[in-house]
Amino acid sequence: MKYILFTLWAVLLWGSCKSIQRPYESENKILQESFTYQDRDRTYWVYIPAKNKLQSPAPLLFHLHGGGGTGKSTPNLTYNQFNKIADREGIIVVYPDAIERNWNDGRSQNIKPKNKDVDDVGFIVEIINTLKQKHSIDDSKIFTTGMSNGGFMSTRLLCDRADVFRGGAILTASISEEYLPLCNPEMPVAVLVMNGTADPIVPYKGGNVRLYKNGKSRGKVLSNDDFLQFWQSKNNCDASPSNIDLPNKDKKDGTTVQISTYSNCKSRGALQFYKIDGGGHTWPGSRQYLNKRIIGNTSREINACDEIWTFFSNLR
């Protein structure tokens, strides 16, 4: 019974709970859009700031939900922080919906029967093409981020379509050993990685992704160190990064943060790593969406959304 309840929680944990903070108040609403792709009805949600705030052309940010989540509920995970950034910076934020709430991120063990032949890379690129018919989009500023299943899917987007995505921020994820040989980006791409050392679901040191200790494997993944080395090599960055330890602002959250920046990458390439020491399967600065004994600590040292957008906005 315990395993059944936890599996149910795991299916719902990425974005189905109501925010415990006061919702962000904006005159703009997140709107649902849809089209047919691969003979399937595909949906996504878009947040667009007011016309007088929207950049032209506008940067485009995809925030991909985790396994079991939905596009509509994803902003709740971060207390709508990306929507706040959109209003401030004039960007468009997109929250797509996966088939059966599960992205085809390159892990065959993670695929549900209805997802087996789903081309989620093509679907997301088609969203970009559709938005371009209505809005002026800056082709040089298209980004993706996500945690867990959404993080693995963001990695796949960088692997498959580095020609489209300028950069990606990967949280509580890396890349599966199965998909690694297929990851051959056409060009260097900017990568930010943000992983917790005490993640109980996606192991920091690599191995099998499991929703609970003795559960079914959801794919064997690279260690965080190997994942960084992979992108360091692809982007031809210096092997040794410069490290900064952030002040421990919250002594009660059980985490500290170190930022590692890799220098002298190829043009378009960039690599930065946020080591969340003591952090769990969580989004820093967001909701503690399940008990710590299930998902680990949520860091209060940083706000991941702000750090992600700073990384993206500083790319040249």
Query: What pLDDT does residue 27 have?
Result: 60
Decide: pTM greater than 0.75. yes
For the chain, list the domains and their CATH numbers.
Answer: 2-313 (3.40.50.1820)
Tokens of 36: 């047919």
**Cα 16 vs. chain centroid, distance in angstroms?**
17
| pLDDT-above-70 percentage for the chain | 91
Q: State the CB neighbour count (10 A cutoff) for residue 12.
A: 18
Burial code of 121-137, b = ≥16 C-beta within 10 A, e = fewer? bebbbbbbebbeeeeeb
Quick check: 12 pLDDT over 50?
Answer: no
Query: What pLDDT does residue 8 have?
Result: 33
Query: What pLDDT does residue 24 have?
Result: 52
Quick check: 175 pLDDT over 80?
Answer: yes
Query: What pLDDT does residue 213 have?
Result: 77
**Alpha carbons 154 and 170: distance in angstroms, whole number:** 7
Give CA separation, 232 vs 109, 224, 239, 269, in Å: 27, 12, 7, 9
**Alpha carbons 240 and 139: distance in angstroms, whole number:** 31
Residue range 217-258, pLDDT digits in tens: 999 999 999 999 999 999 999 999 999 999 999 999 999 999
Quick check: 15 pLDDT over 90?
Answer: no
DSSP letter at 172?
Answer: S
Of the pLDDT bands very low, low, confident and very high (cuts 50, 70, 90), residue 26 is: low
Of the pLDDT bands very low, low, confident and very high (cuts 50, 70, 90), residue 214 is: confident
Cβ–Cβ under 8 Å, residues 211 and 172:
no
Residues 6 or more apart in contact with residue 210 via CB below 8 angstroms: 201, 216, 217, 218
Give CA separation, 44 vs 24, 70, 87, 133, 249, in Å: 20, 9, 19, 16, 37
Q: State the CB neighbour count (10 A cutoff) for residue 255.
A: 25
Query: What pLDDT does residue 211 have?
Result: 85
Average pLDDT over the chain, rounded to whole? 92
Q: What is the DSSP string of 228-271?
A: HHHHHHHTT--SS-EEEEPP---TTSS-EEEEEEE-SPPTT-EE
